[in-house]
């Protein structure tokens, strides 16, 4: 059984819209569902899911776009955010090629791992942040991201990356 | 043509390069005191969505606010219910104390009305009831240490209760007038006819040995006659005649008497010590 991945540029409008929508949601609605002042990073979830669906290269591009979006919106740590998201989405895409395809468990676990990777890279590149609080935030946010993965992944798979067998 | 993995790597490196370049440009732009193109573009693209979503989330938040309000009301309701329970308990306690106060005043007045102004009337509290169904008795918190002796008369302001059957140093067992073993010399207050008032192990007494010609009718009050070895005090209320019977075999009358004292609800009593 073989399948051909759609190229990223073919789905660029969908991915771009997903990232923008994710950023808009993250800066508005998701504040209301924060757990202990920690809200999920929906933009990162989208980037990692794109990496899972479209492969590591496309994931890296999407991760870079996600990081730049968040960085520009935040006005700080543009490079750290960009690099961390790029690496996380690339790693997620690489891992995905070695795992059984699955619609819930593998994407959720990959997003959990990818989120932790993104945090590690981010904190390595932004060392002025104290480690204790970010560590707790990183863990809670990664778990939260994992919970949000199934709907995001399924939506992207349905409307963004339909595999042709 | 690059192998697939190399293409992925090239994309990754290109993405990283773009990010690094963007970060450098961003830093320089900010250092120059300018906002930069990237931030402006993101703001222009995202802000309309943010405005829409914020409005929607506030409306939804308002709807959820109703649920929060309900939760608050629920918690407040629980707290107020607890307070109502506490206050109800307090009211009950006060009412109980009020009733006790009335009872004690009544007993005090009664005591003053007793022979020798109640000098020998010892107040006692009922601390126990009959342990079996075969014996109508209560336990009081006074005993021989307080001067209580066997066969002492026990009464309340409403009337006769019984006699002390067993006295220990600090408690005493009172045989109630309703017990089968109880017998009291009684007198029909209205006409003066005398007889013996016996317990029936029920909530009624029986007055026996009344002569056939004795004038007795329902409603007559029965008091102690002072005859006999136990209840020597005259005029203590025993009860009220409810029914009169004629025993043709013995040519005597008997009467069913409702006790003046509800012995099932005794709390404080007097013991007439000698």
If you average pLDDT over residues B75-104, what whole number do you get? 90
Query: What distance, in Å, lies between the first and last C-alpha atoms of chain B?
Result: 127
Q: Which of A20, A68, A78 sits opposite B46 (nearest CB)?
A: A20
Q: How far is A83 from chain B (nearest CA, A)?
A: 6
Query: What is the rounded CA–CA span in Å between residue B76 and residue B84?
Result: 12
Q: Which of A23, A60, A83 sits opposite B11 (nearest CB)?
A: A60
∠ CA B208-B209-B214 to the nearest 5 degrees?
100
CB distance A129 to A123 below 8 Å: yes
Q: Which of B20, B41, B45 sits opposite A79 (nearest CB)?
A: B20
pLDDT category of residue A164 using cuts at 50, 70 and 90: very low
Query: Most B CBs within 10 Å: which of A21, A82, A95, A114, as the mutation test of the B interface?
Result: A82
Residue-range domain boundaries for chain B: 1-26+36-84, 183-261
Structure-token pair, residue B117:
């102004």
Contacts of B216 (CB under 8 A, 6+ apart): B188, B191, B193, B207, B210, B241, B244, B253, B255
CA nearest to A91 within chain B: B12
Structure-token pair, residue A45:
């979830």
Q: How far is A25 from chain B (nearest CA, A)?
A: 7
Under an 8 A CB cutoff, do B38 and A68 touch?
yes
- The per-residue pLDDT for B186 is 93
The interface pTM score, or ipTM, of the predicted complex is 0.79
Name the interface residues of A facing B (CB cutoff 8 Å). Answer: 20-21, 23-25, 27-29, 32, 55-58, 60-61, 63-64, 67-69, 71-73, 75, 78-79, 82-83, 86-87, 90, 93-94
Under an 8 A CB cutoff, do A71 and B23 touch?
yes
Using an 8 Å CB-CB cutoff, list chain B residues near A72.
26, 36, 38-39, 41-43
If you average pLDDT over residues B203-229, what whole number do you get? 88
Closest-CA residue to B212 (of B253, B256, B254): B253
Using an 8 Å CB-CB cutoff, list chain A residues near B7.
57
C-beta atoms surrounding A165 within 10 Å: 6
Query: Most A CBs within 10 Å: which of B21, B40, B46, as the mutation test of the A interface?
Result: B46
Contacts of A70 (CB under 8 A, 6+ apart): A23, A41, A43, A44, A81, A85
Q: Which of A21, A72, A90 sits opposite B49 (nearest CB)?
A: A21
Q: How far is A135 from chain B (nearest CA, A)?
A: 25
Query: Most B CBs within 10 Å: which of A9, A18, A27, A28, as the mutation test of the B interface?
Result: A28
Q: 3-class secondary structure for chain B?
A: CCCHHHHHHHHHHHHHHHHHHHHHHHHHHHHCCCCCHHHHHHHHHHHHHHHHHHHHHHHHHHHHHHHHHHHHHHHHHHHHHHHHHHHHHHHHHHHHHHHHHHHHHHHHHHHHHCHHHHCCEEEEEEEEECCCCCCCEEEECCCHHHCCCCCCEEEECCEEEEEEEEECCCCEEEEECCCCCCEEEEEECCCCCEEEEEECCCCCEEEEEEECCCCCCCCCEEEECCCCCCCCCCCCEEEEEEEEEEECCCCEEEEEEEECCCHHHCCEEEEECC
Exposure of B14 by Cβ count < 10 A (0-12 exposed, 13-18 middle, 19+ buried)? middle
- The per-residue pLDDT for A160 is 66
Under an 8 A CB cutoff, do B22 and A68 touch?
yes
Topology (CATH level 3) of domain B183-261: Thrombin, subunit H (2.40.10)
Coil, strand or helix at A4: strand
Whether the pLDDT of residue B223 is over 90: the answer is: yes
If you average pLDDT over residues B69-75, what whole number do you get? 87
Under an 8 A CB cutoff, do A60 and B15 touch?
yes
Phi, psi dihedral angles at B198 (to 5 degrees)? -115, 155
pLDDT digits (tens, 9 = 90+) for A70-121: 888 776 778 888 999 999 999 988 876 666 566 788 889 999 999 999 988 8
pLDDT digits (tens, 9 = 90+) for A107-139: 899 999 999 999 888 888 876 666 666 777 888
Whether the pLDDT of residue B142 is over 50: the answer is: yes
Query: What is the rounded CA–CA span in Å between residue A88 and residue A111?
Result: 9
The better pLDDT of the pair B55, B92 is held by B92
């Amino acid at each position: 059984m073989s399948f051909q991945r759609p190229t990223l540029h073919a789905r660029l409008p969908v991915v771009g819209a997903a990232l923008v929508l994710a950023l808009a949601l993250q800066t508005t609605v998701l504040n209301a569902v924060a757990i202990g002042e920690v809200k999920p990073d929906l933009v990162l979830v989208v980037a990692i899911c794109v990496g899972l669906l479209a492969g590591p290269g496309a994931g890296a591009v999407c991760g870079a776009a996600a990081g730049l979006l968040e960085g520009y919106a935040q006005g700080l740590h543009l490079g750290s955010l960009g690099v961390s998201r790029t690496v996380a989405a690339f790693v997620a895409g690489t891992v995905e090629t070695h795992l059984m395809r699955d619609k819930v468990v593998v994407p959720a676990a990959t997003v959990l791992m990818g989120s932790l990777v993104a945090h590690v890279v981010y904190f390595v590149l932004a060392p002025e942040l104290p480690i204790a609080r970010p560590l707790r935030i990183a863990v809670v946010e990664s778990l939260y991201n994992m919970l949000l993965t199934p709907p995001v992944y399924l939506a992207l798979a349905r409307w963004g990356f339909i595999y042709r067998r | 043509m690059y192998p697939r993995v190399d293409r992925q790597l090239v994309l990754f490196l290109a993405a990283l390069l773009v990010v690094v370049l963007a970060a450098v440009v961003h830093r320089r732009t900010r250092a120059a005191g300018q906002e930069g193109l990237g931030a402006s573009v993101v703001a222009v693209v995202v802000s309309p969505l943010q405005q829409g979503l914020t409005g929607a989330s506030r409306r939804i938040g308002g709807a959820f606010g109703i649920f929060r309000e309900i939760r608050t009301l629920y918690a407040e309701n629980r707290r107020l219910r607890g307070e109502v329970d506490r206050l109800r308990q307090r009211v009950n306690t006060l009412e109980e104390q009020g009733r006790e106060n009335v009872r004690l005043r009544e007993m005090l007045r009664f005591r003053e009305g007793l022979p020798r102004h109640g000098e020998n009337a010892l107040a006692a509290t009922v601390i126990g009831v009959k342990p079996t169904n075969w014996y109508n008795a209560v336990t009081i918190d006074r005993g021989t240490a307080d001067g209580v002796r066997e066969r002492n008369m026990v009464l309340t302001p409403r009337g006769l209760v019984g006699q002390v059957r067993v006295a220990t140093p600090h408690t005493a067992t009172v045989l109630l007038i309703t017990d089968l073993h109880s017998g009291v010399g009684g007198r029909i207050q209205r006409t003066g006819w005398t007889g013996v008032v016996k317990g029936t192990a029920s909530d009624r007494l029986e007055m026996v040995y009344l002569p056939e010609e004795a004038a007795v009718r329902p409603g007559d009050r029965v008091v102690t006659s002072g005859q006999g070895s136990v209840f020597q005090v005259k005029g203590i209320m025993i009860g009220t005649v409810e029914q009169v019977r004629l025993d043709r075999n013995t040519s005597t009358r008997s009467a069913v008497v409702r006790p003046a004292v509800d012995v099932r609800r005794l709390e404080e009593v007097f013991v007439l010590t000698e």
